[in-house]
Structure 1
Amino acid sequence: MDILYTVEEKYLQAVEELNYGELPKALHYFNEIINTEPDYARAHYQLGCFYHYQFKNFQTAGYHYQKCVELEPEFPDVYEHYLKLVVTLKMHKLVEQIAEKALAVPGANKAQIYENLGLYAEEQQNLRTAKEQYKKAALSAVSSTDHSLYQDHIKRITAKKIAGQTMTYTYDQEQ
């Protein structure tokens, strides 16, 4: 086993293990980093992703995402996942706060942020706001695949609006 001297080297090794599907090794490295350098924001981000997606431990994931944002607020990758988490947990106040911060950070995936806001509004049955957010996502999309996805969201919202309209029938007595 190689001896890793710096935190950055351990971090890169952990990311490499993660890319090769060696989740236990990667988790071990990220925890080691946090134990030696508790203020290493990117390790908190990676641990947040582990607890969010692998372990479904949302409280611990939220702690690590929040810690990452506190330590390195300009790190763009954390916001998409942190926003997904608070949307899942229906943490209304945090949704707005995190989205606002995310949209101000250079490099943050604005299309994903708008999509998450659209999904959140859709869950709240606020179809008008959801459609607006999906339109913003489509305008921010940089790939045709993503753009098509956001257009599908808009079509779904339009169909929901039509389905929710009340029907008025008239009875014509002339025959």
Structure 2
Amino acid sequence: MENRSQMRKMANRHFVLNAQAVCVFTSRLVEELKMRFVRILGLGSALALLPALAAAQDEADHPTYAKEVSRIIQDNCQICHQPGQIGPMSFTSYDEVRPWAPLIQLKVANREMPPYQYDRDTGVQELKNDWRMAQEDIDTVVAWVNAGSPMGNPEDL
């Protein structure tokens, strides 16, 4: 009988030790899983931010309508391209300019627009109302169209 009692005590102690080991193992496993989850969550968050960071970087690298191109359009195009004027389409807003961006790029790069042709090498070069676009402005319009004609931040208008 005493043997049986002794065996029961040993079994209970063995059970308690095993239960403690299981608890320690389980708590370590839970902590490891938490750390993995946090790492995965952090990596997922970083990956989710990449497109936004790329867009912000892309906008910083390329001209936007709001920051640069709107001024060029106002100074060089809107005298004719607005309601009631000779230009066949209006360029008074981004929504009006955007569909025409590839054609604007072509006409500006080929110096067909603005439509006043001057010989750049001979004759009078200092004209009172010289409508020739500066090369810097032409390059800005070309870069803007090549970048997909982004609007940019409307607050920059």
TM norm structure 2: 0.25
Would you tell me which structure has more helix in proportion to its own residues? 1
Larger radius of gyration: 2
> Which of the pair has the greater relative contact order for Cα pairs under 8 Å at 6+ separation?
2
